[in-house]
Structure 1
Amino acid sequence: MKLYKTLTILFCCLSIMCISTGCERDDICAEDTPTTPLLIIKFIDDETGADIKQPNELQVSAIGFLNIIDYETNQDSIMIPLRTRGLLTNFQFTIDSDTTDDEVVPNIDEVSFQYTPVEEYVSSACGFKVNYNGLTASFENEEDGGNWIKRITIEEDNITDETAAHVLIFH
């Protein structure tokens, strides 16, 4: 009987040890773990060069994808995803996209963002995240002045977090 009691206690202790050491902290990816950052774009008034200017009825869509990001409320900055498998992402930025005034025509500008994606290991639970190095931007500037985007400035060419604007679009 003593042997049975000793074996039961030993079995319980071993079971508790196995359960408590079987799960590691890295098995669950915490919500605050940094993931692949989004590109933050801030819109600036081209005339003043410093004042925030919200684009009217802005829509953004990545060329080659069906999803359109529709900003129903005017915002001074937006966050958009870049492709993780490739060296560039092309977007269409449309203002006056949903106007009820027949005389106002939507104005579409295409912007290309070029970069080098770099994978970074986060943990066994979270896997990898992608940072973007060497960000550049280009757009076709029409000679007749039809662009609503006047110029683009890169504020941060290495995108590793979402703490500040990476790109300024002047309009």
Structure 2
Amino acid sequence: MKHIKLVLLFVMLASVFTCERDDLCPETTPTTPSLIIEFFDNATQDSPKNVFDLYVIGEDNNIVLPGYSLVDTNELILPLRTDQDSTTFKIISNAVLDSDGNLTDDGNEDIVTISYQREDVYVSRACGYKTIFNNVVVSVDGGTDGNWIIFTEAAFDNLTIEDETITHYFFYH
């Protein structure tokens, strides 16, 4: 029994100490970035403006984006799909939930579609690949109730999203 414990201990120690540095992907390594949007007041365009009771749903899966169920914020971070060249969200301002937690018809819903060209970039053996998004274009459809997002503006011409620390788009409302 003592030999079995020693063998198991030796195997565990050997596996821990034989890991090479590039076998682990550090948390500080940049991965596939999200689209970062800041909201501004349409009347005074240099003033940030909160969106109240913001509710964000993925159009393809009808899942509420974590952290965006009736929040007040002037920033939005949207994950982009890496398996196709566009991602669509329902972004609702002044959203209202009924007593069962279901979204009512109140609020103002805009459909935001982000189109792009994907490029997979090799990071390392441990981290694998990340996707960057080139030529990013955002379109907004307000439907029959009209847009609450008045217009959008890219932070840069020929926008490429490869950095998750800067704002990529400005939405005015």
Any conservation in 2 of the 1:57–1:99 contact (CA below 8 Å)?
no
Cross-structure match for 1:52: 48
Tell me, in whole angstroms, the C-alpha distance in 1 between the residues paired with 2:145 and 2:155. 25
The answer for unaligned runs of 5 or more in structure 2 is 1-13, 99-104
TM-score by length of 2: 0.78
Q: CA deviation at 1:98?
A: 2.3
Structure 1 residues 122-133: aligned runs within 5 Å: 122-133=123-134
Q: For residues 107 and 133 of structure 2, what CA distance do their matches in structure 1 show? A: 31
Task: List gaps (5 residues or longer) in structure 1.
Answer: 1-17
Alignment of 1:119 onto 2:117: no
- Alpha-carbon contact 2:109-2:142 (below 8 Å) kept: no
Q: 2:149 maps to which residue? A: 149
- Summarize deviations over 1:11-50 as a string: whole Å, max 9, x none: xxxxxxx989843110011110110001101001001111
| CA deviations over 1:44-66 (Å, ceiling 9, x no partner) | 10011111111110011121113
- C-alpha RMSD over aligned residues: 2.3
Secondary structure, counterpart of 1:132 in structure 2: strand
Whole-Å separation in 1 of the counterparts to 2:149 and 2:62: 23
Question: Where does structure 1 differ by over 2 angstroms across 4 or more consecutive aligned residues?
Answer: 18-23, 69-73
- Distance in 1 between residues matched to 2:86 and 2:16, nearest whole Å: 46
Paired positions, count: 150
Q: Which has the larger radius of gyration?
A: 1
CA shift, 1:164, in A, is 1.2
- Share of identical aligned residues, percent? 33
- Higher mean displacement: 70-79 or 156-165: 70-79
More strand by share: 2
